[in-house]
Amino acid sequence: MSLNVGSLSLVLMTQLSRLIAILTLLKSKRILTATELSHKYNITVRTVYRDIKKLIDAGVPVVTIEGKGYSLMDGYTVPPVQFTEKEANALITAQHLVTKSNDSSFVIDYKDALIKIKSVFKSSILEKSEHLSDKIHVFDTREKNIASNALSEIQLAITNYNYVEINYKKANDNNISFRKIEPYAIYSTENKWILIAWCYMRIEYRAFRIDRIQHFKILPETFEDRKFSIQAFFRQDPYDIKKKK
């Protein structure tokens, strides 16, 4: 299954946020292990290795302490963030793609994040980025307006392993069912956000369209990670996945 432009923007921003978060932890002079980082950000150890390599390639002096983990070289301070014009243009373009997302919480959080990012743009780049923004338009090909306002909260539940209670309405069914779930992953297809979660009613992983969630509650209690793999989930029969929505 291929990612649409909205999903790609989310992946890129999620990765950027994670790299900044890892750098912030390293700045605190903590020694971080790959296992610790994989658990904290719900990623594989291999992804941690790739993230550390990206930081090193970007000039961050990450050192490996044998048998302990990663740390920053003594005396290193992070210089002010500088964006090239092309990087700034990429972020502005992503904003137009994100605004077509059907989840208002995601749109609001992205706009707030971009305001903070734009605050460090050089004045010349900021002026050009605003000019470019007026020259971009993304057509919305959806036949109907499908809206939700839960994506940002659900993302937090995924990364913090919080139980979620939802009232869910299936397509062509007026009945609303109560579900207690363990949220594990999200994906976007045909302008719809889909949540993959362990459902205690069905005693299996199920796919829930976020715009069909009538009400949700993030519980303070946390669950034990079942080591869900989205890659393995997508190796199932596509018909079977649709049937589980």
What is the C-alpha to C-alpha distance for residues 158 and 195, in angstroms, rounded to an integer? Answer: 10
- Is 68 found in the same domain as 9? yes
Specify the CATH number for the domain of residue 42: 1.10.10.10
Count of domains for the chain: 3
- Is 155 found in the same domain as 237? yes
Instruction: Name the band, by pLDDT with cuts 50, 70 and 90, for residue 117.
Output: confident
Q: Which of 19, 45, 72 is the last residue of a domain?
A: 72
Q: What is the pLDDT of residues 132-176, one digit of tens each?
A: 999 998 887 665 666 889 999 999 999 999 999 999 998 888 899
Question: Is 139 part of any domain?
Answer: no
- Is 39 found in the same domain as 62? yes
Q: What is the pLDDT of residue 168?
A: 97
Question: Is 140 part of any domain?
Answer: no
Instruction: Report yes or no: 167 and 122 within 8 Å, Cβ to Cβ.
Output: no
Q: What is the pLDDT of residue 197?
A: 97
**Minimal CA–CA distance to 197: which of 211, 209, 187, 207?**
207
Q: What is this structure's pTM?
A: 0.64
What is the C-alpha to C-alpha distance for residues 240 and 39, in angstroms, rounded to an integer? Answer: 30
Q: Which of 72, 93, 112 is the last residue of a domain?
A: 72
Q: What is the pLDDT of residue 150?
A: 92
Q: Which amino acid is at 223?
A: F
Q: What is the pLDDT of residues 171-188, one digit of tens each?
A: 888 899 999 999 999 998
Question: Is 80 part of any domain?
Answer: no
Question: Is 201 part of any domain?
Answer: yes
Tokens of 20: 């900044």
Q: What is the pLDDT of residue 7?
A: 56
Q: What is the pLDDT of residue 2?
A: 43
